[in-house]
């Protein structure tokens, strides 16, 4: 049996969490779309994970109404560019303006995504029932 000294190991870190400042851009391969619960009240939302294809670093961000309507399950494996355009004061919820994003998706995937209800990395897909709005 081989021990870990026979293999080159690298630390795997969790994705950098992005909260989006005005004009901030995240781009790379859309890897995952997951249903998550946040906060003490376990509010359900969607989390997207993007892999920078140059650095191989991962970034994750929560889905807003605008992002969830623009990024689709079939976009997994595609190159995406997401730019935070700012808040829309005309549309508010609980006094907070709706966050607006410019979302661009490659016409063709940069990697084929496994069939059968999995993300680009093989993890299970979310369904419409997992999306809270």
- Look at residue 120 in the predicted model and tell me its pLDDT: 56
- Look at residue 54 in the predicted model and tell me its pLDDT: 95
Quick one: 34 exposed, middle or buried, by C-beta within 10 A (0-12, 13-18, 19+)?
A: middle
Quick one: 131 exposed, middle or buried, by C-beta within 10 A (0-12, 13-18, 19+)?
A: middle
CA distance 39 to 79: 30
Domain boundary assignment for the chain: 15-130
- Look at residue 111 in the predicted model and tell me its pLDDT: 84
Helices (H), 1-133: 65-70
- Whether CATH 2.10.10 fits 15-130: no
pLDDT in tens, the chain (133 residues): 566 677 888 888 899 999 999 999 999 999 999 988 888 888 889 999 999 999 999 999 999 999 999 999 899 999 999 999 998 888 888 888 889 999 999 999 998 876 656 665 666 665 555 555 4
CA atoms within 13 A on the CB side of 46: 23
- Look at residue 6 in the predicted model and tell me its pLDDT: 77
């Amino acid at each position: 049996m081989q021990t870990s000294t026979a293999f080159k190991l690298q630390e795997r870190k969790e994705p950098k969490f992005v909260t989006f400042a005005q004009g901030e851009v995240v781009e790379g391969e859309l890897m995952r779309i997951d249903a998550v619960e946040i906060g003490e009240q376990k509010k359900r939302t969607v989390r997207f994970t993007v892999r920078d294809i140059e650095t191989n670093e991962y970034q994750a961000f929560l889905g807003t109404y605008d992002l969830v309507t623009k990024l689709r399950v079939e976009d997994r494996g595609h190159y995406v560019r997401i730019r935070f355009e700012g808040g829309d004061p005309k549309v508010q919820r609980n006094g907070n303006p709706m966050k607006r994003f410019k979302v661009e998706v490659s016409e063709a995937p940069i990697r084929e995504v496994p069939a059968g209800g999995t993300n680009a990395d093989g993890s299970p897909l979310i369904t419409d029932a997992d999306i809270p709005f």
